[in-house]
Every structure is written in structure tokens, then in C-alpha cells.
Amino acid sequence: MKIQVESISREIIKPSSPTPSHLRHYQLSFLDQVSPPVFMPFLFFYSEEKHDKLNHRDKSNHLKKHLSDILTQFYPLAGRVIENLYVDCNDQGIPYAEARIDCRLSEVIGDPIPGELNKFLPCQLDDVGDLPLAIQVNFFNCGGIAVCVAISHKIADALSSIAFVNSWAAAARGGDVPSPQLTAASLFPPKDIAGFLPSTGVIKDRIVTKRFLITSSKIASLRERCTDKLKHNTNEDEGRPRPPTRVEALSAFLWSRFMASTVEKKDPNKMYTVLHAVNLRTRTDPPLSEHYFGNITRVAITQPVIDGDGDWCGIVNQVREEIKRVDRNFVRVLREDDNHVNFMKKRAEEFIKGEVVSFSFTSLCRFPLYEADFGWGKPAWVGSASMPFKNLVVFMDAQSGDGIEAWVNLKEEDMAKFEVDEEFLAFASPTKGSKTLGF
């Protein structure tokens, strides 16, 4: 369904107390510098509860007050990014919008259309400028509410973004709020990245985003199929092979079906790669707290080789080995030398020339998305939106607990082929709606 959104108000929310002068200069880390200048969308939908005594105006004031309070701890979010080098923590504040949605919440979350969900956001996702954060709160006719947060990838990864939202919610409930650790630049000092464009990969083409549900039973079937294949290819003295994780099995399967449905014949002059975002916090020596704020993530890059019999299961081991390489030594080298910068420049040049066809996976599975209770209960559903990237899949746990949602972003012509692939549809259930994102 088409969603009608009426703007109610726009204002700026500033921290409730000024940022001390010695904290005014927040240095971006190297990993922040190379992150794309786009907003990451997180949409939290709340039903009106029968015992809920707060009306929309009360909820609005409640959200704004505690947002102002929590910005004193997450003070870089209220500043402005300067020349991809640092954040001027000048307490300039964040854009905060409110809107009225002319339908019931159940009509939206019953079968969400990713592209329509972009209307719930305060801005276009590629219109970042110097803003670290923007928020829009949407009110439904039925009394429901959607708190929609857009955080710049220039300043935070997904885990840090969710930590911010959960801290805001905890403050609103009067609970304990752990302080974020804002020292990532000391671990990954900024570097000279001249010649590398962080916006590489952000495209203006027409992108279609669709949600597909893969139930737990279908995932189990994919994992079992891979395990049987791994057993067949394993010597007895190597022991029993470890079954693939849900994400390993799903990503290998989805990439293989993307290739089968959209690429008639591999171009020998092109490099086909699969990218998995990897959290570095658990891979440093010693491990970092989950409260380390910023982009503490890198990608594991696999150049998959499909077995001669065409079976995709062999990709699982290849992906697993590349992810395993993102270890303590990888992090140490990443911190100490410039080889990674040179590699990124080279790969970006190849991407721009069309010599690399990449397919990226980001998993938000097991992230605490449903912990954001602002005082009127946990979310009825948490979603995302249509992203300005092609060949991107975001995995999220299904709210029901039965399986995983795959948010698939493809070029329009590729989605037309992918979404009717019979082998893919034998495991994945498409939702009814899709939306082309055209800029």
C-alpha cells in the first residue's frame, strides 16, 4: 500500500548540558574515514497498549527530553563532521522531525514495503552532509508510533547505532545507561586516504529492495545439505566437519542463486567477490567491550569457486576460511601499516571500472534490536528501509522467532530475474510488496 505521510514539525534537539571544551574535538578513526557517507536506517514500531496512559504529545515530549539527556553521553552525534577528519562537538544538535501517518500501524507492519518505509525517515539516506544523526517520529491513526533513526555510517557501525538507541530507551525508562567508549581513534588512528572515495558503491541507479522470509525449517534444510556435502569431502582423520552457521549457509545459497539467475556466463575479465561484515571487537587483543563506539568493523572478502558439479555448498568453507582470517593478527596489521589503504584504493578503482562484481552481506541477527523499550513496551516490529547500494543483503531475525528476514537490494533488472528463481523460491517466501528506489 502507498503510505501517506504528513509532516507535523521539525526542530533541533541539543544536548541537555554543554560538552566540555576538552571533548569538543572527536577524532575519526581510520575505519570511520573509509566508511561510506550514508545514513543507516533503523525503524522501531510500537503498538498502542490498552494500559498506555500517554498520548502522542506526551510520548513526543518524553522522547525529546531523554534524547537531549542521552546526547550528553553520545556528544559526537550532536556535532558536525568536518572534512572526513573529526567531529566538531559543538552541540549544534540533531534534526528531529515528527509526522502523521494516515493509516493504522498494522497495515504497515503486516507486510512492510521497504521502499515505502523510506518515507518514515527524516531525510534521503545518501543526503548525509555533515550530520551524524537525524530522527523522525511517526504517529499512526490507531495510536501506534514509529521511532525512526538515521545514523551516519561515517561515525558508527550497526552495533554502535543499536547501542545508542537502546541507551536512549534505557534513559527514557529511568534505567542504567552504560557509557560509550569514544576512543576508537586511539586504536585505529586516522590515515591519509587520498585517492580513495568513501562514497564508492553508493549509486544513483534504480534499486529494488525486497524482503524474503526464510523459515527456521528451511534454514535447517540448507544447513543439513551443506553438512552432508562437507562430510562427503572430509577425510576420516580430519574429524567431523562443523555444520555451517545460519548466515554462512544462507549467504552461500543466496549468492549462488543471484549468480545463476542474473549472470548467464562468468566474464573471465571480471572478479566476483562475496563480502561479509565482521565485528572486530571480539577479534582484537585483548577483546574490546561491546560499548566501543564507532566503526569497529571490516569485511572478509571471498572469491567463491563453485564445485564442478555446480553445488553451492562448497562456498561455505571458502567463506568460513576468509572470515577466520579476520583475526588478531589481521587487526594488528590493520592498525600498524598502510597496506589496507592501498588495497582499498586498488579495489575501488577496479569496482569503478566494472572489473569487480561484489555482493555484500551484513547480519544483524542476534543483535538486541528488540530491547528498545522507551517506557511503553518493546517494539512490535523492527525494520530497515531501501538502501542506495546494489548487491546488498541485510539479515535480520524474524520478529516471530521463526527464521530470518533477508532484505535484498538489487538493480531493478537483476531483481526481476532473482525474485522468480525457482530454486531460490523453494526456500524463501517473498513478501507482497516491493518498491523501486530511484533518486
Chain segment 131-151, per-residue pLDDT in tens = 999 999 999 998 999 999 999
Mean pLDDT for 54-71 is: 94
Q: Are 147 and 373 in contact (CB under 8 A)?
A: no
Q: Provide the 8-state DSSP code for 435.
A: E
**pLDDT for 205:** 75
Contacts of 310 (CB under 8 A, 6+ apart): none
CA distance 281 to 295: 10
Q: Which of 95-99, 105-109, 225-229, 367-371 has the lowest mean pLDDT?
A: 225-229
Return the SS3 of 87: strand
pLDDT band at 376 (very low <50, low <70, confident <90, very high): very high
Q: Provide the 8-state DSSP code for 120.
A: G
pLDDT score of 237 more than 70: no
Read off φ and ψ for residue 82, nearest 5 degrees. -115, 110
Q: Are 180 and 293 in contact (CB under 8 A)?
A: yes
pLDDT score of 233 more than 70: no
Q: Which of 137-146, 387-396, 428-437 has the lowest mean pLDDT?
A: 428-437
Proportion of the chain above pLDDT 70, given as a percent: 94
Residue of higher predicted confidence among 51 and 302:
302
CA distance 288 to 85: 23
Dump pLDDT digits (tens) for 251-292: 999 999 999 999 988 888 899 999 999 999 999 999 999 999
**pLDDT for 434:** 42
Residues with catalytic roles: 153, 373
Nearest to 429 by CA among 215, 213, 251: 213
**How many residues are given for the chain?**
439
Dump pLDDT digits (tens) for 203-219: 867 899 999 999 999 99
CA distance 47 to 60: 15
Please state the pTM of the whole predicted model: 0.93
